[in-house]
């Protein structure tokens, strides 16, 4: 397994988590056009509703680089920062194990 990922936590200002999640999720149509972005998730913490996670999976390094400089990223960076308590940090990652959508997980 050599699939690449990125995890980006967004810490919203108090009470702004729902709006931050909505703004991030609104760029989905742009992500759907990215062939190399294989999975794209926007998660809102149930333990802390002002903490939003963006989780991306990519086919290769070129796809990750294209995504990070693509239209979806530009739209998020243009709309979300005023609602954040702190700047988001991007955590590039390599997937170690995952369960496929159907069948048994990779080990």
Q: Residue 34 phi/psi, 5° resolution?
A: -90, 105
HSE (CB half, 13 Å, CA atoms) of 70? 19
Distance CA 63, CA 87 (A): 24
Residue 106 in domain: no
Query: Mean of the pLDDT values across residues 80-101?
Result: 93
Domain with 52, as residue range(s), is 4-94
Which tens digit of pLDDT belongs to each residue from 22-79?
A: 999 999 999 999 999 999 999 999 999 999 999 999 999 999 999 999 999 999 999 9
pTM over 0.85: yes
48-69: buried (b, 16+ CB within 10 Å) or exposed (e) per residue? ebbbbbbbbbbeeeebbebbee
Residue 103 in domain: no
Q: List the CATH number of the domain containing 41.
A: 3.30.70.100
- Residue 99's pLDDT is 86
- Residue 2's pLDDT is 60
- Residue 102's pLDDT is 72
Domains contained in the chain, number: 1
- Residue 105's pLDDT is 53
Side by side, the strands of the sheet bearing 37-44 are 37-44, 51-58, 4-11, 91-94
């Amino acid at each position: 397994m050599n699939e690449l990922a990125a995890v980006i936590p967004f810490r919203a200002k108090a009470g702004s988590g729902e709006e931050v999640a909505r703004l991030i999720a609104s760029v989905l149509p742009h992500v759907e056009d990215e062939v190399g972005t294989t999975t794209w998730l926007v998660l809102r913490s149930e333990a802390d509703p002002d903490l939003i996670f963006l989780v991306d999976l990519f086919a290769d390094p070129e796809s990750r680089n294209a995504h990070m400089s693509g239209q979806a990223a530009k739209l998020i960076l243009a709309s979300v920062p005023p609602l954040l308590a702190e700047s988001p940090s991007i955590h590039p990652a390599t997937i170690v194990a995952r369960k496929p959508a159907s069948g048994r997980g990779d080990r």
